[in-house]
């Protein structure tokens, strides 16, 4: 259990720091500083230790054992960079439907996915890995259409043009958004 404790702590801290670096490169510094702080809460950290394996999210194992992941339910409800956070009851259908994410959270989600791929893939990582992971579950995912297209666009750009180009593109988008917000 001690090994799991330190393994999980090391993994989530390395992930958080990598996301922070990516967010800084993307020009979303505040998002980087706030990223995944809930992972250190008892509701998320304790299951993370109990189900730690080192090569994938402990939430996947918790889901296999219990049929759901309480840590994930807690996490997605507090972190706006997860598309699962962005659902609401539709007045048209009466069902829970995905809604459009603001771009700053899409950018953070991009940084999160790249960092997660690097942490779990280690030496096997290349710039196509985050896109391949996204595409693997594309048909099963309940994500708002525009949000999905924007994320896939960024992941494809990463796969084809690399990190420097993609982060430069995101920084330009962030500057445009900030400029338009100042006009209001």
Tokens in use for 127?
């710039």
pLDDT of residue 54: 86
32 within some domain: no
> Can you say whether residue 94 is alpha, beta or left, with left for phi > 0 and alpha for psi between -120 and 50 degrees?
left
Q: Give a yes or no: residue 178 inside a domain.
A: yes
Q: Which residue has the higher pLDDT, 139 or 173?
A: 173
Strands of the chain (E only): list them.
87-89, 96-98
Hunting for tokens 């809460």 — which residue is that?
41
Residue 184 banded pLDDT, cuts 50, 70, 90: low
Which neighbouring-strand residues pair with 88?
97
Of all helices (H) and strands (E), which one includes residue 11?
A: helix 2-26
Q: pLDDT tens digits for 30-56?
A: 999 999 999 999 999 999 999 999 888
- Residue 173 in domain: yes
pLDDT at 129: 97
- 41 within a domain of the structure (yes/no): no
Asked if residue 65 lies in contact with residue 129, where contact means CB atoms within 8 angstroms, the answer is: no
What is the domain count for the chain?
A: 1
Residue 131 lies in a domain: yes
Contacts of 175-183 with C-beta under 8 Å, sequence gap 24+, read 175/27, 177/103, 177/104
Dump pLDDT digits (tens) for 121-158: 999 999 999 999 999 999 899 999 999 999 999 999 99
Contact status, residue 55 vs residue 155, Cβ threshold 8 Å: no
Distance CA(88)–CA(105), nearest Å, equals 17
Q: Is residue 27 part of a domain?
A: no
For residue 125, the Cα-to-chain-centroid distance in whole angstroms is 17
98: in domain: yes
What is the gyration radius of the CA atoms in the chain, in angstroms? 17
> Which of 21, 2, 1 lies closest to 119, judged by CA?
21
Q: Is 135 among the domain residues?
A: yes
Q: Which domain holds residue 93?
A: 82-183
3-state secondary structure of 16: helix
The Cβ-side half-sphere exposure at 30, using a 13 Å CA radius, reads: 4
pTM greater than 0.85 (yes/no): yes
- In the Cβ-directed half-sphere of 105, how many Cα atoms lie within 13 Å? 17
Q: Residue 119 has which token pair?
A: 């942490």
What are the strands, taking DSSP E only, across 26-113? 87-89, 96-98
């Amino acid at each position: 259990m001690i090994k799991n404790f330190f393994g999980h702590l090391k993994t989530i801290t390395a992930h958080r720091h990598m996301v922070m670096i990516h967010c800084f490169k993307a020009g979303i510094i505040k998002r980087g500083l706030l990223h995944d702080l809930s992972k250190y809460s008892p509701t998320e950290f304790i299951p993370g230790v109990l189900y730690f394996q080192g090569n994938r999210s402990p939430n996947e194992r918790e889901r296999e054992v219990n049929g759901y992941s309480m840590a994930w339910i807690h996490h997605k409800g507090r972190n706006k960079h997860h598309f699962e956070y962005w659902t609401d009851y539709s007045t048209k259908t009466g069902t829970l439907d995905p809604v459009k994410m603001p771009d700053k959270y899409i950018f953070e989600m991009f940084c999160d996915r790249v960092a997660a791929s690097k942490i779990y893939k280690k030496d096997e990582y290349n710039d196509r890995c985050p896109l391949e992971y996204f595409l693997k579950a594309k048909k099963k995912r309940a994500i708002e259409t525009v949000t999905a297209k924007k994320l896939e666009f960024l992941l494809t750009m990463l796969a084809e043009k690399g990190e420097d180009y993609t982060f430069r593109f995101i920084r330009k988008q962030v500057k445009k958004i900030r400029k338009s917000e100042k006009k209001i």
